[in-house]
Amino acid sequence: MFDDALHTMTLSEDGSYTAYSKEYNEHYHSTKDGALHESLVKHVVPAFKIKQIQDEVNILDICFGLGFNTLATLYFHKKNNFNSKLNIYSPELDASLVKSLKNFTYPKEFDALEHIILELAENGVYDDDLWHVEIFLGDAREYIKKFENKFDIVYQDAFSPSSNPMLWTKEYFADIKKAAKKDAILTTYSISLSTRLALHENSFNIYLNSGENFRSSTVASFEILPEFEKVDMLHKISCNPHAKPLRD
Ligand SMILES: C[S@@+](CC[C@H](N)C(=O)[O-])C[C@H]1O[C@@H](n2cnc3c(N)ncnc32)[C@H](O)[C@@H]1O
For 174, the enclosing helix (H) or strand (E) is: helix 170-179
Q: Which fold has domain 7-239?
A: Rossmann fold (3.40.50)
> Across all residues in the chain, what is the average pLDDT?
96
Tell me the residue type at 139.
D
Residues with CB under 6 Å of ligand 1 are: 28, 39, 63, 65-69, 91-94, 97, 139-141, 157-159, 164, 166-167
Q: What is the DSSP string of 30-82?
A: -TTT-HHHHHIIIIIHHHHHHHTT-SEEEEEEE--TT-HHHHHHHHHHHHTT-
Instruction: For the chain, give every domain's residue range.
Output: 7-239
In this predicted model, what pLDDT tens digit does every residue of 14-35 receive, in sequence order? 999 999 999 999 999 999 999 9
Nearest residue (by CA) to ligand 1, atom 4, is 65
0.75 cut: is pTM over it?
yes
Cα-to-centroid distance, 158 and ligand 1 (Å):
5
Closest ligand 1 atom, residue 27 Cα: 1
Cα-to-centroid distance, 220 and ligand 1 (Å):
20
Closest ligand 1 atom, residue 68 Cα: 8
Cα-to-centroid distance, 180 and ligand 1 (Å):
19
Q: pLDDT tens track of the chain, all 248 residues?
A: 788 888 999 999 999 999 999 999 999 999 999 999 999 999 999 999 999 888 999 999 999 999 999 999 999 999 999 999 999 999 999 999 999 999 999 999 999 999 999 999 999 999 999 999 999 999 999 999 999 999 999 999 999 999 999 999 999 999 999 999 999 999 999 999 999 999 999 999 999 999 989 999 999 999 999 999 999 999 999 999 999 999 99
In this predicted model, what pLDDT tens digit does every residue of 111-143 receive, in sequence order? 999 999 999 999 999 999 999 999 999 999 999
